[in-house]
Structure 1
Amino acid sequence: MDDPIFQPLHFRHLTVKNRLFRSSISGRIDSYDGSGTAARINWEKKFARGGVGAIISSHIPVDPSQRILPNYAMIDRDEQIPFWREVVKNVHQYDCKFIGQLSMSGRQQDIKGVENKHRVPLSSVDGWEHFHGLSGKAMNQKQIAESVLTFARAAGRARQAGMDGIELHAANGYLFTQFLSSAINKRSDDYGGTLENRARFLLEVVGAIRQEVGADYHLQVKFNAADYHNDYVLNVGKGNTLVEGVQVAKWLEQAGVDALHVSVGSQFPHPRNPCGPFPAESASVTYPSMIPSGKLSFWNYLLFRYKLSWPLVIWLWARRQPKIREGINLEECRAIKNAVTIPVLCTGGFQTASVIRAALVKKDCDGVSIARPLMANPNLPLLFAEGKDQAPKPCTYCNKCLAHVLVDPLGCYDESRFESYEAMMDEIMNIFRDENVLL
């Protein structure tokens, strides 16, 4: 009971039983039209059963034209409220909280889906980004205002569904980042130029959500403490600095946000998020699904396709990565935490109890969010509670899961962690067994 990891975390309107959050991570396991499935319920339920204090959902699209990938459960209409209520019920049976992460893709739309095949996604600016070459069309002010209302209505549905709170996904290259980042946003109107203008869209969404759900509903924001935009070969400019990230954090606190969730990286994937090597071999199999999406996707595929180029791909990806993997964002998180009074969560490869405990004791953060290491070991919190410092077979940060998510069910694809290929697939496919759902 004296372990900082298992001390309750008190927010203004929410209490979580420990300091371990399942971060946003999921795969294409729902219906194509955005309705949810039993597999989604099973997916969330296994982490609740494993002992995390709260689950931050996978990104929940609030508008079909702004979904990142097909086959993710959405919250764009009232008919979806009963499904999310069922998800929450299953998670709550393990004394675990559920926080829905609301998102819009902007131009970072990995696979458009048939409904978006012939339209360019709305973004902060015209043009394409420099990793996949995904194109966007600049939103006019009417479209920005409509998006603000769309987020607010989705937040209202989340509260009706019984979610314990919501998180705005303003990190890692999605629509909010496309407005916030100085390396991306080249607008000359009220939504571009100065940092205050670039933050306007996000702050307007926060204000609209507060009007919709009230002041007593948990609202947190995941955002980039710094962009590190020049970690990519073809990208120029650093993007937002940590100083700018601190200022955004202060504005969000003033706007009534209950917590901040710190990440880094101007796009996803990014060399610092998720940390670890680029999975070139796995990408050679799954990346063809991206070829129709971006101007650079075909050329990327050629690099991934041939073994001779894999060392180059891996080196380019890792050349600016810090040597540290676990707790990679703690330095940035510490700066944010020192600037605000609300709780601050940190993401970044956590899977060792002593590392997490030290970060909490030193007040680098108030809690940690975990994705891949929990996917490798969903019972990791229970192992910590037993006194173990790590799982017997920890996550190797191989990032094969990242490559597979485009076309395959999400799970740990590091065969070295399993007795056999069949055992690995049995673990991955377990979420599709309907008997696991509490109805």
Structure 2
Amino acid sequence: MSHLAETIQIRNTMFKNRIIKGAMSEALANTAGQPNSLHLGLYEAWAKGGLGCAITGNVMVDLRAKNEPGVVGIESDRDIEKLKQWAEVGKRYGMVQLVQLSHPGRQCPKGLNKETVAPSAVPFSPSLALSFGTPRELHEDEILDIIQRFAKAAQICEQAGFEGIQLHGAHGYLISQFLSPLTNKRQDQWGGNIENRMRFLVQIYQAVRAATSDNFIVSVKLNSADFQRGGITEEEVISVFKAMDEAGIDMIEISGGTYEAPAMAGSKADKRKPSTIAREAYFLSFAELIRSQVKCHLMVTGGFRTVVAMNAALDSGACDFIGIARPFAVETDLANRLLAGQDVRYGVDKIKTGIPMIDKMAIMEIIWYAAQFKAIAQGKRPNPKLSPLKVFFKYLKGNLTAVIKGQVNSRKSA
């Protein structure tokens, strides 16, 4: 029997199989950050395809801090009825849904928000400085406010009927920025040694757990490494994993990289050892390292393409769940196909426009897939051969429109 087909229980929730769709930004919300029928159509397509669990794309806990146009935001129960409909889609087909809660911190394109904030005012590398401005350092009262925003959003998610949430603590977003010494230069209780740098994450978890019931799943996505010189060390990463495990986290998804070093998009794959490439998953070696040190469930996402490799990873005990992201953008029925013993058909390569400055960024690894999601949500077939350049210019036009509208609204409210 395939390990992929085995059930597993977390708290009171039963996962019908071990396949999880990793978070990918849908970019389907309106300018007010509200979910709509497109989200329902997209997730229903995946649910019909046999998924055991889907983790949503970035859901902002503060609509003043969007990482891109079209993201959903949860600050109150304003959209509770639509969120209930979204949660019901999963229940109808036995698909668990975890809402990924996030604050992007410094990783917001210039002009999209009134300002960007971060643990410290650290500028981006020269290659990205044209697109991302230097953030303002957060005041302590703002840090405490953001912690409560995560808790409030989680509370609303449970009220809507979702089985749980995932805290986005990877890929250079705000939680990850607090954890990394590259972006956290603070000298107060929120910076310095790793115990202080992880304080933000630990307090978010504690606030979320206090605001939700014992049956609600709380997971976190963490980097195994920043893949940047001077970033968080392996010893520090292990201490973060162990601290979250001891705090009672239900599941940790293992990932890596930031916008400045996007290992999550597979950019480091060519530098891996041949034996590692044969095992497919980018972060499986770290999962094996951490497995003996934590009791919580582990999920590894990135690189899996064959049923043999997925079952081998589960059989080894290194992880409890197989995370797959990009292939689901072009194969909505992928879960059923994997359960039938068939491999991924479209191992989508790194998305390139042919323009070096753009291709160095991780942005194409978001917006090309978002274009596929919109097609699926509208009942159309995804297109694996969709032109990246065409997608980029359409995104650029939409981004400029959002910025102009934001500036107009700011003048009206002034």
Normalised TM-score (structure 1):
0.78
2:301 alignment counterpart: 347
2:245 alignment counterpart: 253
Aligned-partner Cα distance in 2 for 1:59–1:177 = 14
Alignment size in residue pairs: 365
1:281 alignment counterpart: none
1:384-439 per-position Cα deviation (integer Å, ceiling 9, x unaligned) = 22222x14x322323359517448843289xxx969869xx9xxxxxxxxxxxxxx
1:304-345 per-position Cα deviation (integer Å, ceiling 9, x unaligned) = xxxxxxxxxxxxx87756663830110112222221111100
Aligned-partner Cα distance in 2 for 1:215–1:421 = 44
Shift in alpha-carbon separation, 1:420–1:189, aligned structure 2, 3 A: closer
In the alignment, is residue 332 of structure 1 matched against residue 281 of structure 2? no
Would you say the 8 A contact 1:347–1:368 is kept in 2?
Answer: yes
Aligned-partner Cα distance in 2 for 1:340–1:99 = 21
Aligned-partner Cα distance in 1 for 2:102–2:384 = 38
Secondary structure at the aligned position of 2:244 is classed as: helix
Q: Which amino acid aligns with 1:222?
A: K
Aligned-partner Cα distance in 1 for 2:116–2:272 = 30
In the alignment, is residue 105 of structure 1 matched against residue 104 of structure 2? yes
Aligned-partner Cα distance in 1 for 2:253–2:260 = 18
Secondary structure at the aligned position of 2:165 is classed as: strand
Q: 2:120 aligns with which of 122, 125, 128?
A: 125
In the alignment, is residue 275 of structure 1 matched against residue 270 of structure 2? no
Aligned-partner Cα distance in 2 for 1:384–1:349 = 15
Q: 1:367 aligns with which of 321, 334, 342?
A: 321
Would you say the 8 A contact 1:372–1:397 is kept in 2?
Answer: no
Q: Which aligned pairs between 1:38-437 and structure 2 lie closer than 5 A? A: 38-110=37-109, 112-113=111-112, 116=113, 119-130=114-125, 131-133=127-129, 134=132, 135-230=134-229, 237=230, 239-265=231-257, 267-268=258-259, 270-276=261-267, 324=277, 326-388=280-342, 390-391=343-344, 393-399=345-351, 403=364, 405-406=366-367, 409-411=370-372
The percent identity for this pair of structures is: 27
| RMSD value, Cα | 2.5
Normalised TM-score (structure 2):
0.82
Would you say the 8 A contact 1:36–1:73 is kept in 2?
Answer: yes
Would you say the 8 A contact 2:22–2:55 is kept in 1?
Answer: yes
Aligned-partner Cα distance in 1 for 2:384–2:84 = 37
Which deviates the most, 54-63 or 322-331?
322-331
Shift in alpha-carbon separation, 1:386–1:154, aligned structure 2, 3 A: same
Q: Which amino acid aligns with 1:410?
A: A
Would you say the 8 A contact 2:190–2:197 is kept in 1?
Answer: yes
Q: Which amino acid aligns with 1:252?
A: M
Q: Which amino acid aligns with 2:341?
A: G
Secondary structure at the aligned position of 1:157 is classed as: helix
**Structure 1, gaps ≥5 residues long:** 231-236, 277-316, 426-439
Shift in alpha-carbon separation, 1:107–1:321, aligned structure 2, 3 A: farther
Secondary structure at the aligned position of 1:83 is classed as: helix
Would you say the 8 A contact 2:67–2:104 is kept in 1?
Answer: yes
Shift in alpha-carbon separation, 1:272–1:322, aligned structure 2, 3 A: farther
